[in-house]
Every structure is written in structure tokens, then in C-alpha cells.
């Protein structure tokens, strides 16, 4: 067999797929759950030792005879997480994650030092948001100054897995552009923003490599640990959204990918740098050589899981109840800010259920409203894309939400765009595997497009077209935004 491996380090689990690129099929896959440290102040953290153990566990679950035939590896990882290591590669603190909102004060400090939002956007194409990496670095320096003095490597989660595999300290533009220390348009680190955190920070940042080049090769240590060949290439990898773009074929204009996982994201490929940070559209690079404007919300399946847990419902029963309610949930609205929120920028935001009356207060409506809320939150991204001239002919849906026929239809109706779903449910891991193949071939920017056309398949059975509920949802979306506008002052000052 001719096998490439794709690894995806997510918030809830670490997964790996083995893909036979001649037979065009996944021949094995495995996963391992990850824990989460959560605190009332918005802290969301994990530990590098959890990543190490999960990586080993996942590869041990894969057949030895297939592991031995792996020719290249690609890595996807949750974006923005801050992994500080000392000179020996040991973690100096927990990994602060993308959904950690405890750094709102650090964002304010850095924005003020930079001269305001406009100056930050000018320098890095984004606002300084709690989800990004830069405020996390300042947070560590402020709260653990002794640990900060020993920092030698500053990594993102996918870079950490690359480091474990190869011993190489490098970054690529896609994931780097989510740090708020990187200028996506110019594809270089921002010396001025680095200096606002620490005069020595710029020199600590990793060298940048091109998306189609390798981060390194599998070391003897990693080969022995995982049971894979020593010396095979490890591609540059990228953030989970960048790898999800490859895994859905969103590598050219015309398509948008919407990911409905713990977070919600909406992104599309562009041949030129595009950003609209004031409306939540971050200016990122892709991991294929172009750009990937992206909107991210911190609460997607979080909302449905919290409501499901509140009612003590199995997944199937939750879906049945939601399906029994009418589109628009009879006026019931959920604001799903269980983790605070990034878009809109409300780190102190809180979840709420509104619109309840004597006649519509039932589980069916609340369950459906929770599902609808996740898509309402992402529709603002679609509006921002359209203002920039994007007219998507299709949305490619991935993540846990893509598994639900009801959620697929809700997405098609609210967005009023046809929805399709890739055959592989592990789009980020699959994207990492295809990028690994691209690296193995020594490909060109055009080759990644043809590789996606060859290897990314869409499911005919899981597609959804906009239906009769489109008009109902246009009104419901207006209601959602009106409620959001009324409650936002509470979140800003709360």
C-alpha cells in the first residue's frame, strides 16, 4: 500500500487517519479523547503530556503492518493555543487554548500600546482578541515571570506535534497568522507587536517555512515511540481550519467551508489577502500558499451539548425533539455564549434563552433553538463574505454538526446556500494527509488543487438544499440580532 498519515489535534480528541492514496480510501483510523481544564475566569487549558500520551495511544491502535508503510505525515491542530517550552523541550506551563478568554485584559493592554484597533489591524490584519496567541504570551510573562525567563520555544499545538515528530522548530504561515503576531498580507512576523510584549520575543519565534515544504523528518525517537518509519517527511501542517480547507477541497474560489464542532468557523479561499476584522472576518493565510479569510465563534456544538446535558437527553432523543419543533422554534432564541464569545467580541458574554411564553416553553423549541443559534452566529460571516464580493455556490459542512441531517437542513435554510458534506468525517485529518502527499510529491501550488479534486469526495446522500423555511429564518435571524444588540451592553460591562 501507498500510505500517508494525517493527524488532527483537536480540543476534544487527537485523531489519526491512514490514507491509501492509490486506492483512494482511508484504510485505518483511531482517536483518543482529551481532557480540558476549565475555570470560571474563562481559563481553558490542556497539558502537553496529554498530547504526548494521546499521540502514542492513537498510533498503538493502528495496525502495525499499516504503520510500517507510512510514507509521509501531515499534522492539523487547533489554532491559537500557546505552547511554551524550555531549551530541553519541556513545557513551562499548561497550553492555553483558543477558547481561553482569561486574557481580555492583556488584549486591552496590547491594543492600547499599539495605538488602537486600527493600528493592530494595519499590522496583523486582525483585532487583538482573547482567542489569539499574543495575549496569552503576555499573560504568561505577567503571571509567571520566572517561567517566562526560561522560554526557548513558542509553539502552536500543531507545531508542538511537529516538534515531537521531528525535533524541528518551524512554523508555516497559515497557523502563524492566527497568533496576532504575524502580518498575513506580507507573510512575516510583526517586530513592532512582538516588542509590545517583550523586546526579546521576536528572536524567540520560529523560522517560517513554505506550505509545500517539510517541517522535518521523523526522528529515531518518534519512530520508535509510534512504530512508524524513521526519516519519512513531515509536511508543514497547519491549523485545523487550514487543514479542513484542504480536506473539503476549499482551495480555490467559489466554495465556503463551515465547521460545526466545539467552535464554529466559516472560511473560504482567496488568491489575495482579505480581511474584515470589524465584522469578525479574520485575515489568515491558507496552508496551500493563498489566503483564508475566516470567521470563528467559540460556541457551536457547545450550545447543543449544554442544553442536552441540562435536560439529561441522549443524542438521538435531543435530535428527535428538535426535529419536532417548527423552524424558528416558535420565537424561542438561544444566545449560545457558554464560553464567552469571540465573534462578536464578548469574552464576558453569557448564554441565555429568550422569547419564552406560556405556549412555546417546551423542550422541543429549546432544543431546536440551540441548534439554530449556532448557525445564526455563523451567518454573520456569510454576510461579511458577500460584502467582500464572495458569492458562494456551495457550503461544505464538516464537524459534529455535519453528522445530523436536521442540522444540515437548518444550515442550508438559514444560509440559503446548498450544503454538501465530504465523505470522510475527519476533514482536518484528511486534509493533513493530502498535504503530506503534496509534500511527498514535491508539488506546486497548482498541484494541491488537483490533489483535492482527486482525493476529496463529497457525499451525495448528505447534501441539503434550501427549502420552505428560508423566509421563516430570515425573520428569526433578524430577531436573533436584535436580542444580541439589546444584551451586548450587559456583556461588555459584566
C-alpha cell at 456: 476529496
Give phi and psi for 150, each to the nearest 5.
Answer: -100, 5
Give phi and psi for 54, each to the nearest 5.
Answer: -65, -40
**Other CB atoms within 10 A of residue 205 CB:** 19
Of these residues, 8, 212, 240, 413, which one is catalytic?
Answer: 240
Q: Are 396 and 257 in contact (CB under 8 A)?
A: yes
Q: Are 10 and 428 in contact (CB under 8 A)?
A: yes
Distance separating alpha carbons of residues 159 and 82, to the nearest angstrom: 10
DSSP state of 279: G
Distance spanning both ends of the chain, measured CA to CA: 57
Q: Is 240 annotated in the active site?
A: yes
Q: In angstroms, what is the C-alpha Rg of the chain?
A: 21
* Cross-strand bridge partners of residue 341: 346
**Other CB atoms within 10 A of residue 360 CB:** 17
DSSP string computed for 213-239 = SEEEE--HHHHHHHT--TT-EEE--EE
* Residue 386 buriedness (CB in 10 A; 0-12 / 13-18 / 19+): exposed
Distance separating alpha carbons of residues 235 and 215, to the nearest angstrom: 5
Query: What b-and-e string marks burial along 312-330, b requiring 16 or more CB atoms within 10 Å of the CB?
Result: ebeeeebbebbbebebbbb
* Cross-strand bridge partners of residue 256: 268, 395
Cα separations (Å) of 112 from 126, 202, 213? 15, 20, 38
Q: CA nearest 207: which of 239, 241, 173? A: 173
Pairing of strands 394-398, 255-260: parallel
Pairing of strands 233-235, 214-217: antiparallel
Question: Which residues are known catalytic residues?
Answer: 240
Amino acid at each position: 500500500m501507498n500510505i500517508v498519515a494525517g493527524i488532527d489535534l483537536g480540543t476534544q480528541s487527537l485523531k489519526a487517519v491512514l490514507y491509501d492514496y492509490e486506492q483512494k480510501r482511508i484504510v485505518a483510523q483511531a482517536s483518543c479523547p482529551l481532557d480540558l481544564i476549565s475555570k470560571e475566569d474563562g481559563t481553558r487549558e490542556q497539558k502537553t503530556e496529554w498530547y504526548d500520551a494521546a499521540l502514542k495511544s492513537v498510533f498503538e491502535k493502528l495496525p502495525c503492518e499499516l504503520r510500517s508503510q507510512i510514507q509521509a505525515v501531515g499534522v492539523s491542530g487547533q489554532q491559537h493555543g500557546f505552547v511554551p517550552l524550555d531549551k530541553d523541550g519541556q513545557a513551562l506551563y499548561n497550553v492555553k487554548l483558543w477558547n481561553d478568554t482569561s486574557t481580555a485584559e492583556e488584549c486591552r493592554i496590547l491594543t492600547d500600546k499599539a495605538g488602537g484597533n486600527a493600528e493592530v489591524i494595519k499590522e496583523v490584519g486582525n483585532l487583538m482578541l482573547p482567542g489569539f496567541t499574543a495575549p496569552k504570551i503576555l499573560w504568561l510573562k505577567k503571571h509567571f515571570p520566572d517561567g517566562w525567563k526560561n522560554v526557548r520555544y513558542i509553539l502552536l499545538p500543531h507545531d508542538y506535534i511537529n516538534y515531537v515528530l521531528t525535533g524541528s522548530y518551524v512554523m508555516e504561515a497559515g497557523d502563524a497568522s492566527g497568533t496576532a503576531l504575524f502580518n498575513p498580507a506580507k507573510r512575516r512576523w510583526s517586530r513592532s507587536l512582538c516588542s509590545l510584549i517583550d523586546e526579546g520575543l521576536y528572536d524567540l519565534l520560529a523560522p517560517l517555512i513554505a506550505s509545500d515544504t517539510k517541517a522535518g523528518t521523523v526522528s529515531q525517537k518518534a519512530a520508535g515511540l509510534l512504530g512508524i518509519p524513521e526519516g519519512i517527511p513531515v509536511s508543514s501542517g497547519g491549523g485545523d481550519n487550514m487543514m479542513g480547507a484542504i480536506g473539503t477541497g476549499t482551495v480555490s474560489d467559489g466554495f465556503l467551508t463551515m465547521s460545526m464542532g466545539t467552535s464554529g468557523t466559516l472560511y473560504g479561499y482567496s488568491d489575495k489577502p482579505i480581511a474584515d476584522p470589524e465584522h469578525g472576518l479574520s485575515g489568515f493565510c491558507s496552508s496551500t500558499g493563498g489566503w483564508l479569510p475566516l470567521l470563528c465563534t467559540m460556541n457551536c456544538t457547545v450550545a447543543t451539548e449544554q442544553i442536552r446535558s441540562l435536560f439529561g437527553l441522549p443524542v438521538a432523543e435531543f435530535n428527535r425533539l428538535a426535529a419536532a419543533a417548527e423552524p424558528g422554534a416558535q420565537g424561542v432564541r438561544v444566545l449560545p455564549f457558554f464560553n464567552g464569545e469571540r465573534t462578536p467580541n464578548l469574552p464576558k458574554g453569557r448564554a441565555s434563552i429568550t422569547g419564552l411564553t406560556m405556549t412555546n416553553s417546551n423542550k422541543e423549541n429549546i432544543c431546536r433553538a440551540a441548534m439554530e443559534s449556532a448557525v445564526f452566529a455563523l451567518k454573520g460571516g456569510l454576510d461579511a463574505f458577500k460584502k467582500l464580493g464572495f458569492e458562494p455556490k456551495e457550503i461544505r459542512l464538516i464537524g459534529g454538526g455535519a453528522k445530523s441531517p436536521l442540522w444540515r437542513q437548518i444550515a442550508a435554510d438559514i444560509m440559503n446556500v446548498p450544503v454538501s458534506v465530504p465523505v470522510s468525517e475527519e476533514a482536518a485529518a484528511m486534509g493533513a494527509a493530502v498535504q503530506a502527499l503534496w509534500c511527498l510529491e514535491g508539488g506546486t501550488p497548482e498541484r494541491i488543487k488537483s490533489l483535492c479534486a482527486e482525493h476529496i469526495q463529497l457525499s451525495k446522500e448528505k447534501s441539503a438544499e434550501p427549502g420552505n423555511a428560508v423566509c421563516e429564518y430570515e425573520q428569526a435571524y433578524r430577531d436573533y440580532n436584535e436580542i444580541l444588540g439589546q444584551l451586548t451592553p450587559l456583556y461588555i460591562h459584566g
